[in-house]
Amino acid sequence: MRTSRVCLLFFVVLMAACKKSGPAPADSAPSGGTAAPAAGDSAGAIRIGATLPLTGAESRIGGFYKEGYDLAFAEAAQNGGIEVGGKKMKVELTLLDDTSTQATAASLADRLINSDKVSFLLGTYATNLVEAQSVVAEQNGIPYVNGGGAATAIYKRGYKWVFGLLAPVELLAESIMKWVDTQQQAGKLPKPATIALLWENTSHGKDFRKGVTDFATKTKNYTVVVDESFELSGKDFSALLGKVKAANADLFLADAHLPDYITMQRQYVTAGLCHKIQSYGARGSEKQAAEALGKKNVEYVLSAVWWSSQLAGKNPEAKKFVELFKSKNGGRSPEWYQALGYETARALFTAISQAGSTDREAVRAKLASLKIPSLLPGGELSFPAEFGQQVHAPFVVQQNLPDGSAPVIAPPEVALGQGIAPNPGCAK
Amino acid sequence: MSLPPWISRRALIGLGAACAVLAVGPLLHDNLYLHNLLTLTFIGIAAALAWNWLGGYLGQVSFGHAAMFGLGGFVAARGEISLHLPMVFAWIFGGLVAGAYALLWGHPTLRLRGPYFSIATIGVGEATRLVGTYWDWLTGGSSGLSLPMHPNLKYTLYWYGLALAALALAASYALRRSSLGLSLLAIKSDVDAASDVGVGAVRLQDLVLFLSGAMMGVCGGFYASYFSYIEPGDMFGFDRSISWVLMGVIGGIGTIAGPALGAVIFVLLRQYLIASYPQLYLGLYGILLVLVILFEPLGLTGIALRLFHRVRPDLSVTGVAGED
């Protein structure tokens, strides 16, 4: 009996300690940790809700997106708020951790809308979470702007309250294939070339597969010899990589999220594989991957991403963002995750300003007709109705080099390097 | 009309009163979040009780009940989308298919006892999840299925959820208190001995498994209607199967209403902890479970019984399978 009382006391003390160390109410500037609902003194402020995967499988990327959101809200706070109908209004972020799970992402969105009474929602990260969460936004008729869901399936549902800043993964695959095609035309790759194609079994992966296979069918210069899917957050890809090895293809193209990219590339290197062209879709240039795998093991990996800090040289909005991010983060360069997080929040702020009110329908209408200069490749942000309100900005293709850099190699108008094909590492 | 002797008038009045209070509750407040959270709690209650029919009453702990939940959900969703079945009929259809599926794998598997059965259910759950992910025609594959959205449907589902939870609770009571309950208790204690004295162990286990699977399937259908979007990874997920085990452990495995209490704690506490202590919620949850398992294996029901005995030591309370 005494033991149970001691345990009960321990539990109560722990709860109390948690209460003290728990997140503070969010103010107009974002908190350093996960923000709790703002306290009652929010008169005159616009309350915006968001969830991100701050724990669980996608926690690393969720943290990057949080940096982007934080920066946008800090910037707005520094400017005294955002201008709405001729007066400045503060913006408050209520950010919750959706633990990288769909059901939690959906139910927390419900909480943000119906309990915390936020006026607008910023989306979470990863296609599967956005797919589930966007339904709640649509059901409740609240503008939902996300920079974390790229699959076209999200935008083909005819939702009117959902807006996406990530261009479709099909375009991503096409961007990689276009660069590969220029190398083939230049005689650096065999013609026809064979492709080993691995894709995660999600909407994201299906779009990637479609992009590659459509391009291969259209040009008739490529044959897909391995076409296999794998489960998200896999632990062992050795069987798949065994098939890839047996096929002896020229190109190895995979679509994977960051944790899967790191796991798969480790096993790829261990299996002694090497291809003339190697890509993991949007993954490849991350510093975290180079640190986890070793710089040498990610050499010449191609990636196509929604943004690169190298755009700062040619795009004034990108330049402004890079400088702002570096000034707040001790000179560290941002990656596309932070940029998309920032731009997502900025798009919503701009729409609210342009609407001149916090009326949801007015802001939704403004988002639908938005056309503003942007840090995204192409320099403009809009949510075309014909694509279900999903941005259709171009991608930038990068390639990891032995010196640790990953210059943009396509499209030509923003390229800072030529790119190298075939992979010289395979000859060793 | 007289009630069967195993039905307690007090229990009947209690259930009716609780349902009446909960039914009029939404008319007294306008907190939509609480309303929705209670709806989710009702699904949790119904599913946890259904799990308990097998895991508690028969002592066959399943870690694969998400297979029936998911299958019922997708069949019901397809029924609504493709066959244009009315919502409730779609749930029932999903429930029947899920019940039949439970029998398909359960009839041979139920010969196993204890941990061997539990391990088999893990395999069933994972295999169903993988197959579900690739069966695009049924589940929409990894892209999942989106159901048509109807205005106010989510709000209305509260009362459907309440009815479902009440039905599951009544069924739990009936399964436990009727003569069937005694047979189940005998099977749980010793399946061979029960067979020797004339209890149809195979038939009764199949029946309970079918009922458990069917209720899970109905819950899956309800869940699909509630969220308007379902995806195999979520519906068939191992986490989901584990959650019903946890609800049982917290509330009291094998008791009539324990898993329902466990579901209330699980859903509400989890939501609160995730929103308030995101970095610590799993740890706090773990501590809660360790404390329950160490000091009160019958969970909240055990605590309630202890308190009751203190207040009224002259009265004995029954209702706990294997304990009364």
Q: Confidence band (pLDDT; 50, 70, 90) for B109?
A: very high
Same domain, A97 and A33: yes
Give backbone dihedrals phi and psi of A52, rounded to 5 degrees, phi first: -140, 155
Q: What is the pLDDT of residues A231-285, one digit of tens each?
A: 888 889 999 999 999 999 999 999 998 889 999 999 999 999 999 999 999 988 8
Q: What is the pLDDT of residue A326?
A: 96
> Is position A4 within any domain?
no
In this predicted structure, what is the pLDDT of residue B315? 64
How far is the alpha carbon of B64 from chain A, nearest alpha carbon, in Å? Answer: 18
Per-residue pLDDT, B161: 97
Contact B233 A232 (CB under 8 A): yes
A135–B229 C-beta distance less than 8 A: yes
According to the model, what pLDDT value does residue B160 have?
A: 97
User: Across the interface, do A132 and B231 touch by the CB < 8 Å criterion?
Assistant: yes
Q: In chain A, whose CA is at the least distance from the CA of B228?
A: A135
**Cis peptide preceding A192, ω within 30 of 0:** yes
A29 assigned to some structural domain: yes
Q: Is A367 contained in some domain?
A: yes
Which residue in A382, A318, A379 sits closest to A354, CA to CA?
Answer: A382
Residue B122 to residues A50, B147, B246, B316, Cα–Cα distance (Å): 35, 29, 15, 38
Collapsed DSSP state (helix, strand, coil) of residue B86 = coil
- A278 and A408: one domain? yes
Give the separation between CA B185 and CA B56, rounded to whole angstroms. Answer: 10
Residues in chain B whose Cβ is within 8 Å of chain A: 31-34, 36-37, 40, 130, 133-134, 141-144, 146, 149, 154, 227-229, 231, 233-234, 239, 271, 274-280, 284, 287-288, 291, 294-295
Cross-chain CB nearest to B295 (options A7, A102, A107):
A7
Is A2 among the domain residues?
A: no
Tens-of-pLDDT digits for all 428 residues of chain A? 444 444 444 444 444 434 333 333 333 333 333 333 333 334 579 999 999 999 888 888 999 999 999 999 999 999 999 999 889 999 999 999 998 889 899 999 999 999 999 999 999 999 889 999 999 999 999 999 999 999 898 999 999 999 999 999 999 999 999 999 999 999 999 999 999 999 998 888 999 999 999 999 999 999 999 999 998 888 899 999 999 999 999 999 999 988 899 999 999 999 999 999 999 999 888 888 888 898 899 999 999 999 999 999 989 999 999 999 999 999 999 999 999 999 999 999 999 999 999 999 999 999 999 999 999 999 999 999 999 999 999 999 999 999 989 999 999 888 998 899 999 988 65
Query: Is the confidence at residue B1, as pLDDT, over 90?
Result: no
- A174 and A221 inside one domain: yes
CA atoms within 13 A on the CB side of A199: 22
Model pLDDT, residue B297: 79
| Contact call for B280 and A232, based on CB within 8 A | no
Mean pLDDT in chain B? 89
Whether A213 and A125 share a structural domain: no
Nearest CA in chain B to A156: B146
> How many other CB atoms are found less than 10 A from the CB of residue B211?
18
Chain B residues whose beta carbon lies within 8 Å of the beta carbon of residue A8: 291
CB B262 within 8 A of CB B91: no
Q: Is residue A8 part of a domain?
A: no
Structure tokens at B210: 């079918």
Residues A295, A414 share a domain: yes
Largest CA distance in chain A: 81
Q: Are A194 and A222 in contact (CB under 8 A)?
A: yes
- CATH code of the domain in which A201 resides: 3.40.50.2300
* pLDDT for the residue A182: 95
Q: Based on the domain organization, do A199 and A262 belong to the same domain?
A: yes
DSSP B206-221: HHHHHHHHHHHHHHHH
Backbone φ and ψ of B15, nearest 5°: -65, -45
Residue A198 and residue A52 in one domain: no
A142 phi, psi to nearest 5 deg? -130, 130
Q: How far apart are CA A359 and CA A418, in angstroms?
A: 48
Give the integer Cα–Cα distance in Å for A337 and A61.
Answer: 7
Tokens encoding B152: 């106010």
DSSP character at residue B3: P
Q: Residue A409, Cβ neighbours under 10 Å: how many? A: 22
The residues pairing with A390 across neighbouring beta strands, listed in sequence order, are A164
Judgement on whether residues A141 and A280 belong to the same structural domain of the protein? no
Which single residue is written with the structure tokens 């480790």?
A266
- Ordered structural domains, chain B, with CATH: 13-311 (1.10.3470)
Closest partner CB to A132 (pick from B134, B229, B278):
B229
Q: Which residue has the higher pLDDT, A34 or B90?
A: B90
Residue A88 lies in a domain: yes
Rg (CA), chain A: 23
Alpha helix (H) residue ranges in B29-86: 32-52, 66-81
**Of the ranges A16-30, A289-303, B26-40, B93-107, which is most confident?**
B93-107
B236-259 pLDDT, tens digit per residue, is: 999 899 999 999 999 999 998 899
What tokens does A272 get? 């002694």
Do residues B115 and B215 touch, judged by C-beta distance below 8 A?
no
Longest dimension (CA), chain B: 61
User: Would the CB atoms of A106 and B227 count as touching at under 8 Å?
Assistant: yes
Q: Are residues A85 and A186 in the same domain?
A: no
What count of other Cβ atoms lies within 10 Å of the Cβ of residue B144? 25
- Percentage of residues of chain B with pLDDT beyond 70: 96
Question: A157 and B144 in contact by Cβ < 8 A?
Answer: no
* Within a domain: A10: no
Shared-domain flag, residues A29 and A119: yes
Phi, psi of B193 (to 5 degrees): -65, -40
Token output for A48: 């915006």
The answer for residues whose C-beta is within 8 angstroms of residue A15's C-beta and 6 or more apart is B284
User: Are residue A252 and residue A139 in the same domain, yes or no?
Assistant: no
Q: Give, rounded to a whole angstrom, the gap between the first and last alpha carbons of chain B.
A: 29
- Range of B210-219, B267-276, B286-295 with top mean pLDDT: B210-219
A77 and A141 in a single domain? The answer is yes
Q: What is the distance between the alpha carbons of residues B68 and B62, in angstroms, rounded to a whole number?
A: 11
Query: Could you list the residue range(s) of the whole structural domain that residue A130 is in?
Result: 25-167+316-387
Output the pLDDT for position A40. 36
pLDDT of residue A394: 93
Residue A21 neighbours by CB under 8 Å, 6+ apart: none
Reply yes or no: is the peptide bond before residue A411 cis, omega within 30 of 0. yes
pLDDT at B317: 54
Report the number of distinct structural domains present in chain A: 2
CB contact under 8 A, A128 and B233: yes
* B180: Cβ contacts below 8 Å, ≥ 6 apart: B174, B204
Report if residue A310 sits inside a domain. no
In the prediction, which pLDDT does B323 show?
A: 42
Contact B241, A138 (CB under 8 A): no
Closest CA to B46 of B151, B145, B146, B157: B157
**pTM for this predicted structure:** 0.84
Whether the CB-CB separation of B157 and B46 falls below 8 Å is answered with: no
For tokens 């702007």, what's the residue? A145
Interface of chain A toward chain B, CB-CB under 8 angstroms: 3-4, 7-8, 11, 14-15, 18, 22, 34, 36, 54-55, 96-97, 99, 101-104, 106-108, 110-111, 113-115, 128, 131-132, 135, 138-139, 151, 153, 157, 201-203, 205-206, 231-232
Q: B228 to each of A131, A144, B61, how far by Cα in Å?
A: 11, 17, 30
pLDDT at B184: 92
Structure tokens at A404: 């640790």
